[in-house]
Amino acid sequence: MREQDLRELLRSMSLEEKVGQMVQVTGAFLEEDAVITGPAADAGLTADDCRLAGSILGIAGAKRLREIQDRYMEAHPHHIPLLMMADVIHGYKTEFPIPLALGASFRPEAVERAMGMAAAEAASAGLHVTFSPMTDLVRDPRWGRVLESFGESPWLDARMAEAYIRGYQGEDNDLAVPGRIAACDKHFVGYGAPVAGREYNHSELSEHTIREYYLPPKIAAIQAGTACVMPAFQSLNGIPCTAYGKIQRDLLRGDLGFEGVTISDWSAVGELVAQGVAEDAREAAKLAIQAGVDIDMMSVCYARNLKDLVESGEVEERLVDEAVWRILTLKNRLGLFEDPYHGSSPEAERRTVLCREHREAAREMVADSLILLKNEGVLPLNPEKKTAFIGPYVDSRDTCGSWAIFQDRADTVTLREGVTECGLGENAEFFQGCQVLENTRVLGFGVEEVFGEPENREELLREAVEAARRADTVVLALGEHTLQSGEASSRGEIVIPAHQMELLRRVAAVNPRVVTVVYAGRPLDLREVERYSAAILVPFLPGTMGGAGIADVLYGRRSPGGRVSMSFPWGTGQIPVYHNDYSTGRPYDPAGAEQKFVSRYLDIPNEPLYPFGFGLTYGSFTYSPVRLSGDEMGAGETLTASVTVTNTGAMEATEKVQLYLRDEKATTVRPRRELKGMKALRLKPGESREAVFAVTEEMLKIWDREGRFLAEPGAFTVYIGPDSRTENGAGFRYR
Ligand code: NOJ
């Protein structure tokens, strides 16, 4: 539709209709058989609210959404199409590994391709917008939603944010192209830092820390053209983001120039009352629209109050018009006025969803994102020798994580299937060993799983131990339950359940060649696992093709590609522990003599168990010293930093070469080092190649004492190596 016609449409809409555009309800309320009693009535919605609501969330399927769209448009006074939104977080039905694993791939180009596939599937099934990516930087693995983040590096998170948005929206951001969906960057801002890692808790972050660490991925998402942004539902420094005008209007729209649609988080507008900043739903609606929330997701505050707030003069109609204009513009960008189905159809769905190309890409992504943390000569497995696969994850199809809301578990490849379908199962045996949980109850979205103690508990264990004794090598597939991570799933003890550890100990007592495969939605405390395992492989929650991708790596068909993107703590007492922390006046040198008045713990180490950037492969790599094209750099200039990397191992593998910068002196205290570049080099045994990086002025920029973003003159060190601990560095001065 031409802009002029869209303006005309807006002018012709009644206030009630305009408010409707700003209301989002769950798709279930608009189904043909929906009756406005039950949940809709409980939520305080009337049939009219649903008739005028501008968008729905949470359901998918081409036929289902087409029917809703047809009925809705016919009944709508201006026949404006409905926007269909949902959480497509790491795939629609072909689930890729969870975002934390995708971050660990250190390969934005592969992530972009994967999210292009996710978009194609979701669009074919009738969706227009996904509530993704979550670009919240994270440091506390007790928080269950670290599974949705890319990790602790602002730079890496920013690259992944761009990759996600390009994947969903296409390089040119032309949303009308069939097979594309609009992105919604979330959550703005600081949701990734709930105090004590407890879900929905407030966050306390200085402006400096927000700018240095938490904003870069958000800025990258906005610059990449994210169509929507979701303000966070927690409070930041005492003010709920939903009602924080300085965050939404001044920072997001003003400083960062975001022009798209903002959508509250689920019932966040209404929660302003519980947070104690609004007296009632009416005041909540007023605060939210004044702060800048365009769409109210699933609280009745806008639906019930906005019209009256405008009519009584408490809220300017201009604010409603601006919000509705942005919403209509998004619908228009998606081409919905011409094709309200956005190219979706049951045929397109059949062609696209779970197609061979997507499944193959998901399988490759598993290998490229799983992290080999330890390998004392046991991997890859020898298919000629007997391997016992033991553990609750051997046959589990529950490996996609709690956000895979559209998956059908039947589509998931288990570890046993991965091994046998690869034709590797001849010398493999499979045993459950134990359940994933015992004597525990876990809750999800409308699901509850209760685990007791199986009657044959001892027998399962005994059988597993016997198999371990007979085998050359044991693969133990252990981990958290999928409902122990994700939203509303913070944990105080981030360990593998005790009875699974008992299995590990008993197996390791009869066979030291134990490969532990850890399924988890977060970096767990693996200290004890480390003690009993000869190798540790972490696929996190690997998605639909998990079993096949893991089998590829176990048997050496592919080399493991993942690198730690969120430090694995030595123990919970260290949390938060991350590689890019600030320099201190009293640094601790673990290699030095006993020191007291330094920054350290008396009882535990400072360093995490597995640091940022770390990950083994089946190759073995050496690095030449860093070469710099000069030792000085002037304003606007670029230096070149390079190393020669050689695979001295016996197998082909991909090395993820990482560049870190350290600002030796500045007007503000700087991180000890920061990731600023990475390159994937695939090298055959004996092969050498150069990794060349440009060191630009942009990379040197920091927030100075006056709040300016600039490069300050002084000394810098460039490090290039396999992980964040590398000492392979060279210095230069910026003039
Ligand atoms: C709550 C979550 O915080 C948000 O990320 C998600 O998109 C919405 N629920 C909708 O499901």
Residues 6+ apart with CB under 8 A from 538: 370, 371, 373, 517, 518, 520, 562
This prediction's pTM: 0.97
Question: Of 95, 171, 165, 161, whose CA–CA distance to 129 is shortest?
Answer: 165
> What local confidence, expressed as pLDDT, does residue 248 receive?
98
Take residue 5 and report the two structure tokens written for it: 């016609």
Q: What is the mean pLDDT of residues 166-191?
A: 98
Alpha helices by DSSP H, listed for 264-314, are: 271-274, 281-291, 301-311
Distance CA 490, CA 493 (A): 9
CA of 233 to the centre of ligand 1 (A): 9
List C-alpha distances in Å: 679 to 166, 181, 645, 657, 720: 19, 29, 11, 5, 10
Does residue 37 carry a pLDDT above 70?
no
CA of 327 to the centre of ligand 1 (A): 19
Whose alpha carbon is nearest atom 4 of ligand 1?
265
Nearest-CA neighbor of 140 among 588, 566, 617? 566
Q: In the predicted model, is pLDDT for residue 244 greater than 80?
A: yes
Looking at ligand 1, which atom is closest to the CA of residue 132? 7
> What sign results for the dihedral spanned by CA atoms 151, 154, 158, 159?
negative
Closest atom of ligand 1 to 186 CA is: 5
Specify the pLDDT at position 444. Answer: 87
pLDDT (0 to 100) of residue 36: 63
Told to judge if 411 belongs to the known catalytic residues of this protein, a careful annotator would answer: no
Quick one: average pLDDT of 154-177?
98
CA of 165 to the centre of ligand 1 (A): 18
Distances (CA, A) of 629 to 282, 633, 642, 718, 732: 62, 10, 9, 12, 10
Q: How far is the CA of 267 from the centre of ligand 1 (A)?
A: 10
Name the residue at shortest CA distance from atom 3 of ligand 1: 265
Nearest ligand 1 atom to alpha carbon 148: 5
Task: Say if CB 703 and CB 668 are below 8 A apart.
Answer: yes
| Strand bridging mode 702-703 / 709-710 | antiparallel
Cα 585 from Cα 669, distance rounded (Å): 10
Chain segment 291-344, per-residue pLDDT in tens: 999 999 999 899 999 999 999 999 999 999 999 999 999 999 999 999 999 999
Q: Tens of pLDDT along 385-440? A: 999 999 999 999 999 999 999 999 999 999 999 999 888 788 999 999 999 999 99
Residue 357 pLDDT: 98
Predicted local confidence at residue 41, as pLDDT:
76
Which tokens sit at 558?
């592919």
- Mean pLDDT computed over 217-233: 98
Q: What's the confidence (pLDDT) of residue 299?
A: 92
Identify the active-site residue in 49, 140, 265, 294.
265
Name the nearest CA neighbour of 523 among 142, 73, 228, 192: 142
From 262, 266, 296, 489, give the residue whose CB has the most ligand 1 atoms within 8 Å, as the site to mutate. Answer: 266
- CA nearest to 559, candidates 413, 387, 716, 682: 682
Residue 33 has pLDDT above 90, yes or no: no
Instruction: Provide the 3-class DSSP secondary structure of residue 122.
Output: helix
The span from the CA of 694 to the CA of 677, in Å, is: 9
Pocket of ligand 1 (CB under 6 A): 87, 131, 186, 265-266, 487
State pLDDT tens for residues 462-513. 999 999 999 999 999 999 999 999 999 999 999 999 999 999 999 999 999 9
The preferred substitution site among 487, 489, 490 for testing ligand 1, maximizing ligand atoms within 8 Å of CB, is 487
Predicted local distance difference test score (pLDDT) of residue 399: 98
Distance 128 CA to ligand 1 centre (A): 16
| Residue listed under structure tokens 């990475």 | 678
pLDDT digits (tens, 9 = 90+) for 526-578: 999 999 999 999 999 999 999 999 999 999 999 999 999 999 999 999 999 99
CA-nearest residue, atom 10 of ligand 1? 266
Reading the block at residue 657, the tokens are: 């070469």
CA distance 434 to 393: 10
pLDDT above 80: residue 40: no
Name which residue sits closest to atom 7 of ligand 1, judged by CA: 131
| 211 CA from centroid of ligand 1 (Å) | 24
In this structure, the residue with its CA closest to atom 9 of ligand 1 is 266
Q: pLDDT band at 38, cuts 50/70/90? A: low
Q: 643: part of which helix (H) or strand (E)?
A: strand 638-647
Residue of 201, 230, 234 best suited for mutating to test ligand 1, as the one with most atoms within 8 Å of CB: 230
How many Å lie between the centroid of ligand 1 and the Cα of residue 266?
6
Give the Cα separation of 304 and 301 in Å (integer). 5
Q: Quick one: pLDDT at residue 593?
A: 81
Mean pLDDT over each residue of the chain, to the nearest integer = 96
Cα–Cα distance measured from residue 222 to residue 258, given in angstroms and rounded to the nearest whole number: 6
Give the pLDDT confidence of 438-450 residue by residue, as tens digits: 999 999 888 899 9
| Ligand 1 center to 691 CA (angstroms) | 40
Amino acid at 106: F
* Gap from CA of 224 to ligand 1 centroid (Å): 22
Of ligand 1's listed atoms, the one at least distance from the Cα of 184 is 7
Take atom 11 of ligand 1 and give the residue whose Cα is closest.
Answer: 87
Q: Which of 241, 265, 271, 405 to mutate to test the pocket of ligand 1 (most atoms within 8 A of CB)?
A: 265
225: left (phi over 0), alpha (psi -120 to 50) or beta: left
| pLDDT higher than threshold 80 for residue 35 | no
660-690 confidence digits (pLDDT tens): 999 999 999 999 999 999 999 999 999 999 9
Q: Which amino acid is at 31?
A: E
Whether residue 39 is predicted with pLDDT greater than 70 in this model: the reply is no
- Taking the centre of ligand 1 as the mean of its atom positions, its distance from the CA of residue 395, in whole angstroms, is 30
